[in-house]
Amino acid sequence: MVKHTDDVGAKMGMWLFLFTEMLFFGGMFLLYAVYRAHYSADFSGASSELNRVIGTFNTVILITSSFTAALSLSEIKKGALRSASVSLGITALLGIIFLIIKYTEWSAKIGHGIYPGSAYFNDLAHGKVLFFSLYFVMTGIHALHVLIGIVVFMVILFMVHSGTVRGNNFIKLENAALYWHFVDIAWIYLFPLLYLLR
């Protein structure tokens, strides 16, 4: 096999993959739109039960992590492996903090008996049931994406150390950063729809 790497091709593949991600989330946004139109009063009632402060804090964390991801890319292009690694590490760390906060938020809700299937949950108004189900499913699937991103960044950190990803071969890092920006943007939509819109 003639070894050849086609960076443009690899990036194109990533973009195509992100299209599919967009449509994947799109299905949930569609449900959100329809049910919000059906049950607008319930939706605003339920949404006010979410903690805006925590939500905002998490948004800031995720945006910062997108910044550090972009930073590590520009550093590696300069050949500054050390500072690129630091930025990568910070990105992964911010991702982990995001998940921890998400976890506490979920457990608070579950502690109050708000989760699909609970007796309390099933007695809620229909619109609220749907809102909270959407909340759990959308943030859950998003969190799964964050988790995958963290693992990817860890692997790439390792690759930087072993020299596979370096100043003249950074497509893997670039693609990981692209993916991470997508995860970020998905949150940028989730946050106002779930927390802010009343």
Which residues contact other proteins by CB under 8 A?
1-2, 6, 8-9, 12-13, 16-17, 19-28, 30-31, 34-35, 38-39, 115-117, 122, 125-127, 129-130, 133-134, 136-137, 141
* Residue number with CB closer to other proteins (30 or 60): 30
Instruction: Dig out the tokens for 100 from the structure.
Output: 């921890």
Output the smallest distance, CB 168 to other proteins, in A. 20
Q: Rounded to the nearest whole angstrom, what is the least distance from the CB of residue 185 to other proteins in the complex?
A: 16
| Cβ 42 to other proteins shortest distance, Å | 9
Provide, rounded to whole angstroms, the least separation between the CB of residue 143 and other proteins: 14
Cα–Cα dist 179/186, whole Å: 11
The answer for residues whose C-beta is within 8 angstroms of residue 106's C-beta and 6 or more apart is 136, 139
Q: Residue 102 or 128: which CB sits closer to other proteins?
A: 128
Give the tokens for residue 145: 């994406």
Query: Can you name the residues that pair with 166 across neighbouring β-strands?
Result: 169
Residues 6+ away with beta carbon under 8 Å from 126: 39, 42
Distance CA(123)–CA(50), nearest Å, equals 19
Nearer to other proteins, 140 or 167 (CB): 140
Could you give the CA distance from residue 41 to residue 45 in angstroms, rounded to a whole number? 6
Least spacing, CB of residue 79 vs other proteins, in Å:
27
Write down the least CB distance from residue 25 to other proteins, Å.
Answer: 8
In the bound state with other proteins, the residue whose beta carbon lies nearer, of 38 and 78, is 38
**Closest CB to other proteins among residues 125, 196:** 125
Q: What are the two backbone dihedrals, phi and then psi, of residue 166, each rounded to the nearest 5 degrees? A: -150, -170
- Output 22 or 60, the one with its CB closest to other proteins: 22
Instruction: Please name the residue ranges forming H helices in the chain.
Output: 7-38, 40-47, 52-77, 81-111, 119-123, 126-162, 171-191
